[in-house]
Amino acid sequence: MNLLQALILGIVEGIAEFLPVSSTGHLTIVEKLLGLQIDDQGVTAFTAIIQVGAILAAIIYFWKDIVRIVVAWARGLFNRDARGHDYRMGWYVIIGSIPIAIVGLVAKDLISGGLRNLWVVVAALILWSIVMWAAERVGKQDRHEESTTVLDAVAIGVFQVIALIPGVSRSGATISAGLFRGLDRVAATRLSFFLAIPALVAAGGYEGITQASAISSSVGWLPTIVATIVSLVVAYVSIAWLLRLVTKHPITVFIWYRIGLAVVVAILLLTGVITAT
């Protein structure tokens, strides 16, 4: 991988990670268009590692919230009187992260192998758009972040597992879960960010440690580092934009883009311009 390819992929990751359009799906498509072998271990690891840049952007953006929640959680462990909303939120993030931690390890080979297929991306882009539409139509959106419960965390955590399928979109899945549970868009989006942090940091760290040799032999560490830094900068802007967007617009504004992208990729596949793997 050269530095121009790394720059492009870093921009794609930064833009797509927190929008409900699937960053993994976009990376898979763009990697294929750039001539990379998308089921190569090094490329798969690269895709997971550069997501850490986007997550670092989320940590920076929500730093005050994160510190407040962590401090409240730590205090609440030893002081019952300190067990308020922030204390509970700490537990919600932990509990909501358990499903993806288990499935991510158990189904690792399937995620990095069989699911890295552009036909999977096409199908997921279209099918999950239907779920996003249903979430906006069915969800009452009459609950704010302070009313979050452990069942909300479990539901969002389970939906986050579904996002392991390229094309679903982690944010699209977790925000939809929050809407189905009656949370308003801002609360659902913020919870989506909070649950993304441990999941994607763990995934990127795991790939960086276990696939270090694959990165060195195929993609290279310099392009990986460049793409990670670029994704951090671009993602920070993307987070701010999305939070402003969801205060006034439904997540269904992304549906036509998702379907349009799926149609374009399907045409490229059917005409033999690109191959599925």
Distance CA 30, CA 26 (A): 6
Report residue 214 as tokens. 């694959």
Q: What pLDDT is stored for residue 273 in this prediction?
A: 86
Q: What pLDDT is stored for residue 159 in this prediction?
A: 93
- Name the pLDDT band for 5 (thresholds 50, 70, 90): very high
Each residue's pLDDT tens digit, 120-176: 999 999 999 999 999 999 988 889 988 999 999 999 999 999 988 888 988 899 999
Q: Phi and psi for 144 in degrees, rounded to 5? A: -100, 175
**Residue 174 exposure: Cα atoms within 13 Å on the Cβ side:** 33
DSSP E strand boundaries for the chain:
none
- Name the pLDDT band for 109 (thresholds 50, 70, 90): low
Asked whether the predicted pLDDT for residue 74 surpasses 70, the reply is yes
Each residue's pLDDT tens digit, 177-224: 999 999 999 899 988 888 888 887 887 777 777 778 888 888 889 999
Alpha-carbon separation of residue 38 from 46, 93, 130, 131, 202 (angstroms): 10, 31, 27, 27, 21
The model's pTM is: 0.85
Q: Write down the domain spans for the chain.
A: 3-270
Sign of CA dihedral 258, 238, 234, 93: negative
- Those residues with Cβ within 8 angstroms of residue 127's Cβ, 6 or more apart along the chain or in another chain: none
